[in-house]
């Protein structure tokens, strides 16, 4: 089967032919991941304010679609903690009814991103920004579970901002249910410590089964899934496209874009991590993975689910338990669906405090506390600003603004570092009598010609360095000026304008200028812009040695002393 999107065409196939041993390993891996996904899907749906069944449908149907249509052999897709703050804010503003339309819009944006080949977008998001919004998401999730974990009642569910919800919880602390506190924090301790007992059986599932049985059999008075959401429906979901509301779509567009970008980045990061963990000889294809995530969100929206993305933790668990193909993801989805049908009547007895405890531990783990400590200890101070800004905006404002602000600040920091480097430097002998930028033979030739001024341009000649380039090369220099461009890898319009101005000014003052060793990647831009025409081909040479040999030797008296011009630094 083939799917066409714009000018792209991909073969979409179910899991390929596997050996009996590979089938067994992938089935086992899928069952393990399914047991992890089952309680998390319920907890994450509740975290965004949606009925638990929507989380289960997402893991079952969106997870299968992503495994079949995506390119990663390992990604496990479903509801994830990363999307909770964004989707939760939408539910507060527009209700659960807006989620199917949101899912359709997210799918469309992911399809467009795939068609535009934006699959490598995750490579251009700085690591400190990723760490910042991950920590911000973790804090939002953890604090969002306080009411359920403490059994606090009387809070306003319509409050949107973090500080408002936190203050509302603090005001209502007198309503704390101490039985719920004991259940919740015991569940936190069990889920956190369980990996020391067994890594094959997920702690979240153990906690949910154990505490559900205890609270049900002992009739412990604590809020459950059924007391808040009622009994889960049995059977298949109602399948169909949501009704299109143009006004609502316009309002949802910024949020849909944010969810799509985050879903794409999260899924691509998950695929990269999985490929590295599995040491896979064949890696995922980023653009096709975006298409697969688009299909997952499309399927989720028409089967009663919520927006989905690949989950790094569940994907990693699949790889650790033997996953080698998409069969693992399909089995995971089938297991969740089978449990949804068979155990729907029991889900209503799960205490909300236990699910809150599961999410608190999940939040702690996705925050990557060890990685955060490494950043705090070893990262440059300038990146601390990026980290703090991204965390703060994620928690108090919006993830979209957090990512945008983090990237912008990171770019500014990089530009500052670039402008601190020399854009052009005079080539003169050092204390050892050598010109270090060139070979000893060429250096000796340059030293023998004190009647010529030699400069070396380097790196990227762009808007950040154009002014410094002019400042150095327009210095009062009567000698012929040779500008070596072998180390220039890119030049933009600002750099070209600066070069044009330098040439014009030297002509006006009667000074000669020569360009040498221009890289093939840079020469087309210089020619198209008219630099060569302005300078004249007689002043453009393939090598600095050829340029030197073309210049007649002036009498020593007119050569002048080589001026001690400082390196150019952009500011």
The reply to whether 276 falls in a domain is yes
The pLDDT score that the predictor gives to residue 400 is: 67
When pLDDT is cut at 50, 70 and 90, the band that residue 515 belongs to is: very high
The reply to whether 418 falls in a domain is no
The pLDDT score that the predictor gives to residue 541 is: 92
DSSP designation for 77: E
- Tell me the two tokens of residue 87: 């989707």
As a whole number, mean pLDDT of residues 125-131 equals 78
Torsion angle of C-alpha atoms 179, 185, 186, 192, degrees rounded to 10 = 170
- Whether 38 and 73 map to the same domain: the answer is yes
Q: Token match 């006004």: residue?
A: 247
The reply to whether 235 falls in a domain is yes
Buried b (16+ CB within 10 A) or exposed e, 468-498: bbbbbbeeebebbbbbbbbebeebbebbbeb
Q: 14 pLDDT exceeds 60?
A: no
Please count the other Cβ atoms lying within 10 Å of the Cβ belonging to residue 145: 25
Q: Is 244 exposed, middle or buried, given 0-12, 13-18 or 19+ CB atoms closer than 10 A?
A: exposed
The reply to whether 533 falls in a domain is yes
- Tell me the two tokens of residue 271: 């695929």
When pLDDT is cut at 50, 70 and 90, the band that residue 334 belongs to is: very high
Residue 322 Rama label (left phi>0; alpha psi -120 to 50; beta): left
Q: CA-CA distances (angstroms) from residue 445 to 167, 514, 546, 553?
A: 75, 16, 11, 12
- Whether 304 and 385 map to the same domain: the answer is yes
- Strands 453-461 and 309-310 come out as unpaired
- Whether 328 and 429 map to the same domain: the answer is no
Query: What three-state secondary structure class fits 367?
Result: coil
Query: What is the Cα–Cα distance from 66 to 33, expressed in whole angstroms?
Result: 15
Residue at which a domain ends, from 412, 437, 472: 412
Residue 385 Rama label (left phi>0; alpha psi -120 to 50; beta): alpha
pTM of the complete model: 0.69
- Whether 379 and 331 map to the same domain: the answer is yes
- Whether 365 and 502 map to the same domain: the answer is no
- Residue range 533-549, pLDDT digits in tens: 888 898 999 999 999 98
- Whether 228 and 299 map to the same domain: the answer is yes
Averaged pLDDT score across all residues of the chain: 83
375 CB contacts (<8 Å, ≥6 apart)?
128, 131, 383, 387
Is 483 within 8 Å of 424 (Cβ atoms)? yes
Which domain CATH number covers 497?
3.30.750.24
The pLDDT score that the predictor gives to residue 32 is: 80
The pLDDT score that the predictor gives to residue 555 is: 61
Query: What is the Cα–Cα distance from 216 to 179, expressed in whole angstroms?
Result: 14
Residues in the chain: 571
The reply to whether 18 falls in a domain is no
- Whether 395 and 436 map to the same domain: the answer is no
Give the CA count within 13 Å in the CB-facing half-sphere of 384.
8
The tally of domains found in the chain comes to: 2
Q: CA-CA distances (angstroms) from residue 235 to 331, 332, 514?
A: 19, 18, 79
| Displacement of CA 377 from its chain's centroid (Å) | 22
Query: What is the Cα–Cα distance from 495 to 503, expressed in whole angstroms?
Result: 12
Closest CA to 486 of 528, 521, 527, 435: 521
Query: What is the Cα–Cα distance from 10 to 5, expressed in whole angstroms?
Result: 9
Q: 8 pLDDT exceeds 60?
A: no
Give the CA count within 13 Å in the CB-facing half-sphere of 264.
31
Residue 220 Rama label (left phi>0; alpha psi -120 to 50; beta): beta
Of 40-44, 134-138, 216-220, the least confident: 134-138
The pLDDT score that the predictor gives to residue 423 is: 74
When pLDDT is cut at 50, 70 and 90, the band that residue 568 belongs to is: very low
The pLDDT score that the predictor gives to residue 122 is: 67
Is 344 within 8 Å of 304 (Cβ atoms)? no
As a whole number, mean pLDDT of residues 202-223 equals 86
Residues pairing with 540 in the sheet: 515
The pLDDT score that the predictor gives to residue 101 is: 95
Residue at which a domain ends, from 412, 443, 461: 412
The reply to whether 23 falls in a domain is no
Query: What is the Cα–Cα distance from 110 to 117, expressed in whole angstroms?
Result: 10
The reply to whether 417 falls in a domain is no
- Residue range 455-505, pLDDT digits in tens: 998 888 888 888 888 888 887 778 899 999 998 888 888 889 989 999 998
Query: What three-state secondary structure class fits 9?
Result: strand
Residue 425 Rama label (left phi>0; alpha psi -120 to 50; beta): beta
Query: What is the Cα–Cα distance from 100 to 435, expressed in whole angstroms?
Result: 67
Residues pairing with 422 in the sheet: 569
Share of the chain above pLDDT 70, in %: 92
As a whole number, mean pLDDT of residues 172-197 equals 89
- Residue range 258-304, pLDDT digits in tens: 899 889 988 888 888 788 777 767 788 899 999 999 999 999 999 99
Maximum mean pLDDT: which of 104-108, 153-157, 452-456, 491-495: 104-108
Query: What is the Cα–Cα distance from 200 to 259, expressed in whole angstroms?
Result: 32
- Residue range 370-409, pLDDT digits in tens: 878 888 887 777 788 888 888 888 888 766 677 778 878 8
Is 394 within 8 Å of 132 (Cβ atoms)? yes
Q: Token match 């919740």: residue?
A: 184
Query: What is the Cα–Cα distance from 65 to 279, expressed in whole angstroms?
Result: 24
Q: Is 554 exposed, middle or buried, given 0-12, 13-18 or 19+ CB atoms closer than 10 A?
A: middle
The reply to whether 554 falls in a domain is yes
- Residue range 18-77, pLDDT digits in tens: 788 888 889 988 888 887 888 888 888 988 889 989 999 999 999 999 999 999 999 999
Please count the other Cβ atoms lying within 10 Å of the Cβ belonging to residue 11: 8
Residue at which a domain ends, from 378, 412, 446: 412
Give me the sign of the Cα torsion angle 84, 86, 89, 94: negative
- Whether 517 and 389 map to the same domain: the answer is no
Is 47 within 8 Å of 305 (Cβ atoms)? no
Q: What is the separation, in whole angstroms, between the first and last Cα of the chain?
A: 57
The pLDDT score that the predictor gives to residue 514 is: 92
Q: 553 pLDDT exceeds 60?
A: yes
- Whether 115 and 47 map to the same domain: the answer is yes
Q: 193 pLDDT exceeds 60?
A: yes
- Whether 506 and 375 map to the same domain: the answer is no
Segments forming the whole domain that contains residue 461: 424-559
Please give the helix or strand (H or E) that residue 113 lies within, else none: helix 99-115
- Whether 133 and 263 map to the same domain: the answer is yes
Q: 517 pLDDT exceeds 80?
A: yes
Query: What is the Cα–Cα distance from 177 to 181, expressed in whole angstroms?
Result: 6
Please count the other Cβ atoms lying within 10 Å of the Cβ belonging to residue 507: 14
- Whether 381 and 508 map to the same domain: the answer is no
The pLDDT score that the predictor gives to residue 566 is: 39
């Amino acid at each position: 089967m083939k799917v066409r999107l714009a000018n792209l065409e991909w073969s979409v196939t179910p899991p390929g032919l596997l050996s009996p041993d590979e089938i067994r390993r992938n089935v086992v891996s899928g069952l393990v991941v399914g047991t992890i996904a089952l309680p998390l899907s319920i907890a994450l749906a509740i975290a965004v304010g949606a009925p638990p069944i929507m989380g289960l449908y997402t893991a079952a149907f969106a997870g299968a679609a992503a495994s079949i249509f995506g390119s990663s052999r390992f990604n496990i897709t479903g509801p994830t903690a990363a999307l909770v703050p964004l989707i939760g804010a939408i539910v507060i503003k527009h209700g659960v009814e807006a989620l199917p339309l949101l899912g359709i819009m997210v799918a469309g944006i992911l399809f467009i991103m795939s068609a535009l080949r934006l699959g490598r977008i995750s490579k251009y998001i700085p690591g400190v920004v990723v760490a910042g919004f991950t920590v911000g998401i973790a804090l939002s999730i953890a604090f969002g579970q306080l009411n359920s974990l403490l059994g606090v009642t009387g809070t306003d569910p319509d409050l949107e901002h973090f500080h408002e919800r936190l203050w509302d919880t603090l005001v209502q602390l007198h309503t704390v249910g101490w039985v719920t506190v004991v259940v919740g924090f015991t569940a936190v301790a069990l889920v956190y410590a369980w990996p020391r007992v067994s890594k094959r059986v997920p702690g979240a599932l153990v906690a949910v089964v154990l505490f559900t049985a205890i609270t049900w059999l002992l009739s412990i008075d604590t809020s459950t899934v059924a007391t808040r959401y009622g009994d889960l429906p049995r059977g298949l979901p109602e399948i169909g496209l949501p009704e299109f509301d143009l006004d609502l779509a316009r309002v949802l567009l910024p949020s849909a874009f944010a969810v799509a970008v985050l879903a794409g980045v999260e899924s691509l990061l998950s695929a990269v991590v999985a490929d590295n963990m599995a040491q896979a000889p064949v890696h995922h294809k980023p653009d096709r993975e975006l298409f697969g995530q688009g299909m997952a969100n499309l399927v989720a929206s028409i089967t009663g689910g919520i927006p989905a993305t690949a989950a790094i933790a569940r994907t990693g668990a699949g790889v650790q338990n033997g996953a080698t193909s998409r069969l693992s993801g399909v089995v995971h989805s089938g297991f969740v669906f089978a449990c949804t049908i068979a155990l729907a009547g029991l889900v209503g007895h799960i205490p909300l405090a236990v699910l809150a405890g599961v999410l608190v531990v999940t939040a702690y783990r996705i925050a990557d506390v060890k990685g955060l400590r490494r950043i705090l200890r070893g990262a440059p101070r300038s990146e601390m600003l990026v980290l703090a800004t991204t965390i703060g905006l994620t928690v108090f404002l919006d993830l979209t603004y957090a990512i945008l602000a983090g990237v912008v600040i990171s770019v500014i920091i990089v530009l500052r570092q670039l402008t601190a480097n020399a854009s052009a430097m005079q080539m003169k002998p050092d204390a050892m009598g050598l010109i270090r930028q060139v070979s000893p033979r060429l250096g000796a030739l340059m030293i023998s010609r004190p009647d010529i001024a030699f400069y070396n341009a380097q790196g990227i000649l762009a808007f950040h360095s154009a002014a410094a380039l002019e400042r150095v090369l327009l210095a009062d220099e009567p000698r012929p000026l040779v500008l070596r461009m072998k180390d220039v890898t890119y030049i933009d319009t600002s750099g070209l304008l600066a070069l044009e101005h330098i040439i014009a000014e030297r002509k006006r003052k009667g000074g000669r200028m020569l360009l040498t060793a221009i890289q093939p990647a840079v020469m087309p831009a210089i020619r198209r812009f008219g630099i060569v025409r302005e300078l004249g081909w007689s002043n453009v040479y393939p090598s600095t040695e050829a340029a030197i040999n073309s210049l007649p030797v002036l009498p020593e008296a007119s050569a002048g002393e080589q001026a001690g011009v400082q390196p150019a630094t952009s500011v």
